[in-house]
Amino acid sequence: MSGINICNVRVYGLEESMVASGYPMRTDLPQKMYALGEKDILRANKLAGSPTGEGHDNFLNGVVVQFDLTAPIKVWTEAQRYHFLDFVSSASTMHRLSKMTLDDAFDSSVDKSIIAIVKELQEKYNTTGAKEDYLRLLMSCPVGLNLTARMTTNYRQLKTIYRQRKNHRLPHWHDFCDWIETLPWAKELGLTGGTK
């Protein structure tokens, strides 16, 4: 497998958050959520296009995105820098590395000879059950091992990720940014670098 895989995507609160983007300028108290109107769309587009960190795009926090992401450990290491990219649950090398089908588990950029070594270490541990053999297997596993996790984030965080990772050296981030572009209203709400 090369690149990343994203599936089981769900987006929540998009229209409600666009309506709520007008709350700072309201003079009356809302009794119920209003239907999304043209004014809401225009305002949300304008606010969402503000530069990251100004706070005018804060309503994007209310647009929650959940998805399953399969990516190499190297991607996961870098993804952990984002405070609002939360792990719901994830695959575990600690629990399953000794049982994984390694022929299918690595990114295509991992050298075949390294995969062969890891397979030998896995076989040795599964034969001996020795703690030191398990530790050798675990610590010898390359960062190209693919793991899957269920993630929760929001549009504001995806806006930040897109800007920071769109031209990243690791091509897997390009795939992730391409996926961000497919989300509902992503372009209009400035997730991909600007509004329409």
pLDDT, tens digit, 9 for 90 and up, residues 23-59? 888 877 777 767 888 999 999 999 998 887 778 899 9
The total number of structural domains in the chain stands at: 2
**pLDDT tens digits, 79-124:** 988 888 889 999 998 889 999 999 889 999 999 999 999 999 999 9
Please indicate, yes or no, whether residues 32 and 79 belong to a single structural domain of this protein: yes
Residue 2, pLDDT above cutoff 70: no
Q: Is 96 exposed, middle or buried (0-12, 13-18, 19+ CB in 10 A)?
A: exposed
Please indicate, yes or no, whether residues 105 and 82 belong to a single structural domain of this protein: no
Report which of 165, 136, 152, 195 is spatially closest to residue 74, judged by C-alpha positions: 165
Range among 43-47, 65-69, 164-168 with highest mean pLDDT value: 65-69
Residues facing 71 on adjacent strands = 147
* pTM of the complete model: 0.89
Residue 151, pLDDT above cutoff 50: yes
Phi and psi torsions of 189, nearest 5°: -95, 15
Find where tokens 């609160």 sit.
13
pLDDT at residue 25, as a whole number: 86
Give the separation between CA 190 and CA 69, rounded to whole angstroms.
23
Residues of the domain holding 20: 5-88+147-181
For the chain, percent of residues with pLDDT exceeding 70: 97
pLDDT at residue 1, as a whole number: 46
Residue 104 in any domain: the answer is yes
In what order do the strands lie in the sheet containing 64-72?
A: 5-12, 64-72, 146-154, 86-90
Please indicate, yes or no, whether residues 119 and 164 belong to a single structural domain of this protein: no
